[in-house]
Structure 1
Amino acid sequence: MANIIPEQIHIVSIQVTNANVSMTKGNELLEKNKAFDITFNSNTSLSLEDKEFCKIDFTVGFLPAEQLKDQTDFSASFSIDFVFSIENLENFKVQVPGVEHGFLLDSTLGITLMGIVYSTARGIILTRTAGTVLDSILLPVINPANLLVIQETNK
């Protein structure tokens, strides 16, 4: 297992690909209660050819909490793409026993990258929801390891 060297992780780009807030009723209830359910989704792609990069597509969705579903109607979603260049990405490759061409990414690097993604997304969503019916959402503190999904690409 390789050591994480933060200076070898470079953020190449961060792009908000979707930012949507929709409200049709119950604005005052939402503002008073700030009760909503949050869903997270991530998709991670790796390339070990040419430039060693990792792309993480991160999506956060908001819907009314169960107790407000009949009284308010809103939804929000944010999709943010992160591209990292990792100088020593090859060192974090873990072979899968019995699989000739498959590999996993060492969880230490995956959790480190997801921590960067999540904390950056928290700031972006906080800023993007300021002045909306969602009124400056600060995402909860969570374990970034729970957000990892990895797929190999040949890009």
Structure 2
Amino acid sequence: MEKKTIIAEKIHLVRILPSKEYFDHQYALADKELKLSIAQSTKHNSDKKSFKISLSVFLEYESQKIADYLYDFIFQVENLEEYVLKKEEKPLFSGILISTLLTIAYSTLRGILHTKLADTPLKDFILPIISPNELLKSKIKN
């Protein structure tokens, strides 16, 4: 199979849905070493040509939950069928499509959290740049 390229104009981020937004304001967090956990899950609807990327961000300090965010990013992919590698029981989508959608969702979440945390002790916190391949390894636990 030839390598598929992404046509950005055929991908649309149509909704951003916050599922969970928690921040504990009681901690004085300046100069603390926070533990960051990031996870994802993906779902698709081939009939609607849509993808849902869910991203979870969890921050803790000494086993205490500081922040817990879960956002769903809904995408329309006009040419979704072009990225299906196999269709048997479950479709398998090309890595380039999944990586692209994850990267868009994660970068968007970085901006959302930067804005949300602006008036908190974590005002200087920015989600780190990570590889979409690394993000794929962390699944959201239901």
Equivalent runs, 1:31-50 vs 2, <5 Å: 31=30, 33-49=31-47
Superposed CA deviations along residues 9-29 of structure 1, whole A, max 9, x for unmatched, are 01110122221111545x1xx
| Paired amino acid for 2:69 | F
The CA deviation string for residues 17-47 of structure 1, in whole angstroms up to 9 with x for no partner, is 221111545x1xx21x142111011110011
1:45–1:54: 8 Å Cα contact kept in structure 2?
yes
Rounded Cα–Cα distance in structure 1 between residues aligned with 2:132 and 2:123: 24
Question: Which of 10, 13, 24 matches 2:12?
Answer: 10
1:93 corresponds to 2:84: yes
SS in 2 for 1:102: coil
TM-score, normalised to structure 2, is 0.86
- 5 Å-filtered alignment, 1:71-110, equals 73-95=64-86, 100-110=88-98
In structure 1, distance between residues paired with 2:18 and 2:111? 12
TM-score (norm 1): 0.79
The secondary structure found in structure 1 opposite 2:96 is helix
Identity of aligned residues (%): 33
User: Any gaps of 5 or more consecutive residues in structure 1?
Assistant: 150-155
Contact 2:15–2:74 (8 Å) recurs in 1? yes
Q: Deviation per CA, 1:38-61: give whole Å up to 9, x if none.
A: 101111001111x20000111100
SS of the residue corresponding to residue 4 of structure 1 reads coil
Aligned counterpart, 1:116: 104
Q: Is contact 2:35-2:59 (8 Å) kept?
A: yes
Instruction: Decide which structure has the larger Cα Rg and report it.
Output: 1
What runs of 5+ residues in structure 2 fail to find an aligned partner? 138-142
- RMSD over aligned CA atoms reads 1.9
| Count of paired positions | 135
Task: Describe the superposition over 1:107-137 as per-residue Cα deviations: whole angstroms up to 9, x where unpaired.
Answer: 0011011110111000001111111132242
Q: Which amino acid aligns with 1:8?
A: K
2:21 maps to a residue whose letter is A
